[in-house]
Chains A and B, each alone.
Chain A
């Protein structure tokens, strides 16, 4: 499979105060992200996952090591706009990333920055709004929308730039369950349409929907693999002060008491299916 993103031995350091030792937010991370894949990155606050994400979008540049998007080195500032166009980013706070007071103008902001011809911008804006189910709200002011709707607009703003990869930095952290479901549905849909997704999240149920889970702690990658395999390391995950999906936790408790349950059950639906089968 082709890699859309390659991270080589990435170190990112920043100084809190002049005289202090620099803090290592990301510490020797090497990763490859396959084109069209859906990767979830989990970790505590301060584990370096957001910093990692911003390095992919060239919002931050490596202290050492390198990040390549579509083979372009993020440190090469002649390729900056190409990189940011290819790897779009959605942030946590739904209020603080919309630029315009009209939804459709906000979605147009990215394409306008890319210097795209007006008729084409119009088409892209309409397409993007349809694809996040927000076309009806295109004339509204963002502050009148719900958190989930605002995040969908932010996503539309990114897809209007026709990116190949979208990095979402805790897009659901500030939303209610309804908004979370809305946003997750859109993310999964975009993934099905072939866009590479990198989702940073605290919600294990969301991570369980990815096809790869990366767990970070203190700037390093601790676990990396398919969700079912990663969540098997339940003790280790809990020792990092993280959760596992409900079904994984429950299955593990039962297994400890001698009940046989296969190890690849990660969602509640799969668990229901399995137990129901056993009863038939």
Chain B
């Protein structure tokens, strides 16, 4: 077990008139190398949760064990946590600040106390891993790149720290369809190459269904549901009551079932939907 979260509770603005429970009694496990999707509508506590995993927020109670070490403890060094867990925020391109792409990506590794040599090597590796050409881009200013490229550079800045667990908060927000697909392919490649665990926060149910092995569903600060995408997206009524949608393929099958068409309810992706519809539509005549 790589991450064990137990009874995590967090309260915002405690003691103030507008105090609110942000997380309530959350427990889950993440295994090494797992690809976990986190869904829930805005304000459900997803962001608060992932900031806890990175030590940016401290819980009121409960524990987060990473490789057996409780990172909510007082004497834990933040540097050790950040070496293990990388966090890519929403719109990460807004955090770029250095004169060159190389320097910006190097910021994280240098903060970890790595040598210049090791850092340079990691920077080159990370830039390659996000699908950019190191030679071409390393000495350019990050601010003259396109939106999609900026985002890749920002993500490279985190993966150069070689985290064992990489958390991405809506990495495709605001991108056009091509950039969206590219970023997801990139995440898959990072997962493959670095053999790390991925926690992907997304509103796109189709992406989650296709990529994740496990899904956490958040609602009003609670963990409403966990399971494989198949298990989670079968609970269409529950998801709907939480204001969440279904992957488009699952939604289509569900609508067909409700009209009495004999299709399977366990369809998650376009390819599966194609097979299923082919089966019933070609066999019918």
Contact = CB atoms under 8 A, between A and B. Distances in A.
Contacts of B274: 250, 253-254, 257
> Interface majority SS on A: helix, strand, loop or mixed?
helix
Contact of A268 (B43, B252, B278): B252
A250 B147 contact: no
B236 interface: no
A46 B259 CA distance: 43
Contact of B278 (A176, A247, A259): A259
Contact of A250 (B43, B261, B270): B270
A23 to B, nearest CB: 13
A268 B176 contact: no
Interface residues of A, number: 35
B260 A246 contact: no
B240 interface: no
B135 interface: no
Contacts of A278: 281, 284
B24 to A, nearest CB: 21
Given A45-B147, A45-B148, A147-B42, A272 B252 contact: yes
A114 interface: no
B252 A271 contact: yes
A280 B173 CA distance: 41
Contacts of B277: 250, 254, 259, 275
Interface string B261-282: 1000000001001100110011
Interface in B35-80: 41-43
Contacts of B179: 45
Interface string A180-214: 00000000000000000000001010000000000
A241 B270 contact: no
A268 B177 contact: no
Interface string A34-45: 000000000011
A269 B248 CA distance: 11
A64 interface: no
Contacts of B270: 246, 249-250, 253
Given A254-B274, A259-B281, A268 B146 contact: no
> Interface majority SS on B: helix, strand, loop or mixed?
helix
A17 to B, nearest CB: 10
B42 A146 contact: yes
B21 interface: no
A241 B260 contact: no
A275 B173 contact: no
B107 interface: no
B143 interface: no
Nearest to B40: A176
B174 interface: yes
B41 A242 contact: no
A247 B252 CA distance: 9
Nearest to B274: A253
Contacts of B255: 268-269, 272
Contacts of A254: 274, 277-278, 281
A269 B284 CA distance: 21
B86 interface: no
Interface in B137-169: 146-148
A174 interface: yes
A176 B259 contact: no
Contacts of B245: 177
Contact of B203 (A176, A242, A246, A258): A176
24 contacts: A45-B147, A45-B148, A45-B175, A45-B179, A174-B173, A177-B245, A178-B42, A179-B42, A246-B248, A246-B249, A246-B270, A250-B252, A253-B270, A257-B274, A259-B277, A268-B248, A271-B252, A272-B252, A275-B277, A276-B256, A276-B259, A276-B260, A278-B284, A279-B261
Interface of B: 41-43, 146-148, 173-179, 203, 243, 245, 248-249, 251-252, 255-256, 259-261, 270, 273-274, 277-278, 281-282, 284
Given A45-B175, A279-B261, 9 more contacts: A44-B178, A92-B174, A146-B42, A177-B41, A242-B176, A253-B274, A254-B277, A259-B282, A275-B277
Q: 8 tightest CB-CB pairs across the interface, nearest first?
A: A241-B178, A276-B259, A246-B248, A243-B177, A272-B255, A259-B281, A176-B42, A253-B274
